[in-house]
Amino acid sequence: MIVVMKSSAVAEDVTRVVERVCELGLTPHLSKGEYRTIIGAIGEKKPDTQQQLQQLPGVDEVMAITQPYKLASREFHEADTILDVKGVRIGGPHVNVIAGPCAIESREILFTVAKAVKDAGASILRGGAFKPRSSPYSFSGMGEDGLKLLKEAGDEMGMPTITEVVDPRDVDVVCKYADMIQIGARNMQNFNLLLEVGKTDKPVFIKRGLAASITELLMSAEYVLSQGNHRVILCERGIRTFSEETRFTLDLSAVPVIQERSHLPVFVDPSHAAGKRDLVPSLAIASIAVGASGAIVEVHSCPDRALCDGPQAVLPENFKKMMEQIRKVAEIVGHRVTLWGQEDTTTKPQASGGWAT
């Protein structure tokens, strides 16, 4: 349930409610908006819990959250969550493009691609150091050596970095080098991993599983949020259907559906959905047109020799053209693309990704 405080409530009133929530055996989660404060009371409530909280000073209303995902729900946090990652604002009116190679293969390729995507306007650099592959014989990443290269490239380019973690035991080493943590589609319901990244202070980027419903994706986010990490981003990356024309079927309807149900930013992964580089720009542009907070795109300077997902990697020159089109579409739908090195002053980021600390 959520406790909505009156606009006239003072800090002591909020503290009193939080203490009472704890006494009732529930977990409090504080969300401070511009005009009101909401306290989430998560856990198994007793029959008279709502009545007890309603009587406290400063309380305006106590309501039940109808969705199974409590903290991810718009019922709990009405405003869009906006994250600030090393000066890059994610969510709300901001549009960001994450780009880079699928896997970190060498210093030369990583730095070549990083410079190309930065020059084209990407705001966040991606690169996989741990790669979950369908075959145990496929290249599965450089591990910590790859993470070191990613950090070096991010520092030199002045870009935040994101990389995937596949094992709870690797969370600490990933946090040491990367600015954002990616949870891949195959690990969307790896609940031990979700709980572990939920204990960190790094933004967590969760991709929808290839056979997962939207509710299941939001419940995965709930695992992270429940541990105190409120910096979560969701990603639609295509689901498995009867169609064989593309690698997966990109469910663009998921973007507005999630935005209706949740305050968390929603990205789209056109690379994994298409599986073919020629289709990626069109799907990326369409993602922005339906209101996504951004796209994550695989770019490679020599995709024919890529050790991972070469067929879906966009060439740098085509990525540049795609970025130009994304900027135009974002302007039409009333969003603004956050370019590397460009100050975006349209909206100030809310503390801790829109949550109170």
Q: What is the pLDDT of residues 258-285, one digit of tens each?
A: 999 999 999 999 999 999 999 999 999 9
Q: Which pLDDT does position 344 carry in this prediction?
A: 47
Q: Which pLDDT does position 342 carry in this prediction?
A: 54
Closest C-alpha to 161, from 198, 117, 123, 193: 123
Q: Which pLDDT does position 43 carry in this prediction?
A: 86
Second-level CATH architecture of 83-354: Alpha-Beta Barrel (3.20)
Q: Which pLDDT does position 132 carry in this prediction?
A: 74
Round to the nearest angstrom and report the end-to-end CA distance of the chain.
19
Residues of the chain with pLDDT under 70: 133, 137, 140, 339-357
Two tokens, residue 27: 């977990």
Q: Which pLDDT does position 136 carry in this prediction?
A: 76
Report the C-alpha gap between 238 and 260 in whole angstroms. Answer: 19
Closest C-alpha to 76, from 252, 201, 226, 290: 226
The domain ranges of the chain are 2-63, 83-354
- Domain 2-63: CATH superfamily is Phospho-2-dehydro-3-deoxyheptonate aldolase; domain 1 (3.30.70.1140)
Q: Which pLDDT does position 306 carry in this prediction?
A: 87
Q: Which pLDDT does position 203 carry in this prediction?
A: 98
Q: Which pLDDT does position 39 carry in this prediction?
A: 92
pLDDT tens, 2-26? 999 998 999 999 999 999 999 999 9
232 touches 203 (CB < 8 A) = yes
Distance (Å) of CA 48 to CA 24, 44, 135, 237: 10, 12, 54, 43
| Other CB atoms within 10 A of residue 19 CB | 12
Q: Which pLDDT does position 339 carry in this prediction?
A: 61
